[in-house]
């Protein structure tokens, strides 16, 4: 089998897996996740896109974050991709209900390889964010590199995801990791060096911060201005 065929099979397999997981969960996803996906709202509050700027969420799920961001930053344009068509179906409905169809555009796409020009007619973005998605993407390092490569000069990638619970009781960590594994979620212990490596590839710089005693980790890649 060719490499292209293998990659296509991997992508379709992951898409099918995500659809299977979320076909039912999407109907109550936002209600349950708000209690333990910590750090999302702080990320949104700090996006601060330039006036008329473009913002992309990779792994937009039900559209909850994009809708909140569009309301917080009314002068920006918003875009979202997700590999799960089931999730996108819910997201499209929520965007319409929120009256934001003119400012939020959604498309199916793989976080590790996507063409924003083909999907949205936009080649690069002022802000990109990934909220609790890297822990569900098999080739998560490729997802970081792909996002960093889509930043406009002076642009910024923000991520937040599960940390290693380093400041919390060991029993809590073991219980949480076991529960997350049931949903194919794996917190990424080497997130910080992966961000540093991806930043260096685009001539940018990385920032990393542990939140809530390590319950969540946040990271940022800032790309330099055009020279």
pLDDT at 19 over 90: no
**pLDDT at residue 5, rounded to an integer:** 38
**pLDDT at residue 94, rounded to an integer:** 96
Sequence-distant (≥ 6) Cβ neighbours of residue 179 within 8 angstroms: none
Of the given ranges (1-5, 15-19, 20-24, 189-193), which has the lowest mean pLDDT?
Answer: 1-5
Across residues 52-71, what is the average pLDDT? 96
- Name beta bridge partners: 113: 110
Per-residue pLDDT reduced to its tens digit, 78-121: 999 999 999 999 999 999 999 999 999 999 999 999 999 999 99
Sequence-distant (≥ 6) Cβ neighbours of residue 62 within 8 angstroms: 26, 29, 30, 87, 90, 91, 94
Across residues 120-134, what is the average pLDDT? 97
What does pLDDT average to over the chain? 88
- Name beta bridge partners: 222: 156, 205
pLDDT at 226 over 60: yes
Residue 14 pLDDT class (50, 70, 90 cuts) = low
Domains annotated on the chain, with CATH: 3-222 (3.40.50.150)
Question: Of 180, 226, 187, nearest to 203 (Cα)?
Answer: 226
Q: For residues 40 and 132, is the Cβ–Cβ distance under 8 A? A: yes
Residue 1 pLDDT class (50, 70, 90 cuts) = very low
Across residues 167-190, what is the average pLDDT? 95
Per-residue pLDDT reduced to its tens digit, 185-213: 999 999 999 999 999 999 999 999 999 99
Q: For residues 52 and 76, is the Cβ–Cβ distance under 8 A? A: yes
Query: Which residue has tokens 């909140």?
Result: 68
Report the share of the chain in percent with pLDDT over 70. 84
Across residues 163-189, what is the average pLDDT? 95
């Amino acid at each position: 089998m060719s490499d292209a065929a293998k990659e296509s099979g991997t992508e379709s397999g992951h898409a099918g897996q995500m659809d299977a997981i979320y076909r039912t969960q999407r109907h109550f996803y936002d209600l349950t996740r708000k209690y333990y996906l910590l750090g999302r709202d702080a990320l949104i509050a700090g996006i601060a896109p330039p006036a008329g700027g473009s913002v992309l969420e990779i792994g937009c799920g039900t559209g909850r974050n994009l809708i909140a961001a569009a309301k917080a930053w009314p002068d920006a344009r918003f875009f979202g991709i997700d590999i799960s068509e089931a999730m996108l179906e819910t997201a499209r409905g929520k965007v319409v209900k929120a009256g934001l169809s003119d400012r939020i555009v959604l498309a199916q796409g793989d976080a590790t390889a996507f063409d924003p020009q083909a999907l949205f007619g936009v080649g690069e973005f002022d802000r990109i964010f990934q909220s609790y998605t890297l822990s569900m993407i098999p080739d998560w390092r490729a997802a970081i590199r792909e996002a960093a490569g889509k930043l406009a000069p002076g642009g910024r990638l923000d991520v937040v995801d599960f940390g290693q619970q380093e400041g919390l009781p060991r029993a809590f960590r073991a219980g949480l990791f076991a529960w997350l594994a049931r949903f194919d979620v794996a917190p990424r212990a080497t997130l910080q060096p992966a961000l540093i490596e991806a930043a260096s590839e685009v001539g940018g710089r990385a920032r990393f911060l542990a939140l809530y005693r390590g319950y969540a980790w946040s990271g940022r890649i800032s790309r330099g201005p055009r020279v």
